């Protein structure tokens, strides 16, 4: 493949053609990363403000630890150069330097170029980007005059109180272990293992028909669990 790439050829196709030649795994990873960096640079700016030149992309690649910027002009770097030129061609015709300078926004992180170590420079750049993101989110939160935080348990059913205040049903406040314990406490089969029975008014009697739990015990727990079928529990109703 020659280094001159037609405008109509998409950089994705150029990358695939270069990879098809067969390279070491580390070089393939660098080519894919370089392709990604060019794509990010392409999407960040408008056509007139983009700088996808060899020199600029090589500096960006160096800041991400891919290779030294100066080696982009060496023969062994021709695959990297071909990929960058594909993106530069895909970007379209260049405008004059004066117009580009007028359109290009000021680089607020330009001071990072003074850091000689590329790894440290890259880390500082990522930290600043994260800081800017957090500041933007904070400003967005400050613009909100009212923030609603839903702390209701999952599966909670809402009942309207007398003053139209939302109240969480008791059953929704129980943990799984609490619910299982209460269900076992009024389960006729479970009580039958001890020869205990449920009376007509919701009491629990032992094998000698003495109160273990007083009338209303079973019905109270059933109401907490949201059970409406009392007949399945053997409860006919409370005596007056």
Q: Where does a domain end: 105, 131, 155?
A: 105
Rounded to whole angstroms, the Cα distance separating 35 from 193 reads 71
Lowest mean pLDDT among 66-70, 179-183, 218-222, 233-237: 233-237
pLDDT digits (tens, 9 = 90+) for 184-224: 888 888 888 989 998 888 899 999 989 888 898 988 888 88
Structure tokens at 168: 């969480």
Domain termination residue (choose one: 105, 126, 141): 105
Neighbours of 61 (CB within 10 A): 23
Report if residue 93 sits inside a domain: yes
Structural domain ending residue among the three candidates 52, 78, 105: 105
Identify whether the C-beta of residue 149 lies closer than 8 Å to the C-beta of residue 188: no
In a domain, 46, yes or no: yes
Nearest-CA neighbor of 188 among 176, 177, 174, 202?
A: 202
**235: which 2 tokens?**
């409860």
Judge contact between 2 and 14, C-beta under 8 A: no
pLDDT one-digit tens code per residue, 126-157: 888 888 889 888 887 777 666 566 655 555 55
Give residue 41's domain range.
Answer: 1-105
């Amino acid at each position: 493949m020659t280094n001159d790439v037609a405008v109509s050829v998409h950089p994705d196709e150029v990358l695939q053609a270069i990879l098809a030649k067969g390279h070491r795994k580390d070089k393939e990873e660098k080519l894919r990363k370089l392709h990604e960096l060019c794509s990010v640079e392409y999407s960040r700016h408008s056509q007139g403000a983009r700088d996808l030149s060899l020199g600029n992309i090589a500096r960006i690649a160096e800041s991400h630890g891919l290779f030294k910027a100066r080696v982009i002009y060496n023969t062994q770097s021709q695959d990297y150069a071909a990929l960058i030129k594909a993106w530069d061609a895909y970007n379209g015709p260049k405008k004059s330097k004066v117009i580009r300078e007028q359109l290009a926004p000021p680089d607020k992180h330009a001071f990072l170029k003074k850091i000689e170590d590329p790894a440290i420079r890259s880390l500082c750049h990522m930290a600043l980007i994260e800081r800017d993101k957090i500041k933007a989110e904070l400003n967005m939160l400050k613009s909100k005059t009212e923030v609603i935080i839903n702390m209701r348990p999952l599966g909670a059913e809402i009942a309207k109180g007398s003053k139209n205040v939302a109240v969480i049903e008791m059953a929704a406040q129980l943990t799984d272990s609490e619910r299982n314990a209460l269900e076992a406490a009024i389960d006729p089969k479970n009580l039958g293992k001890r020869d205990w029975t449920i009376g007509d008014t919701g009491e629990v009697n032992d094998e000698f028909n003495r109160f273990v739990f007083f009338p209303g015990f079973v019905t109270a727990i059933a109401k907490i669990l949201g059970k409406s079928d009392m007949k399945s529990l053997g409860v006919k109703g409370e005596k007056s």
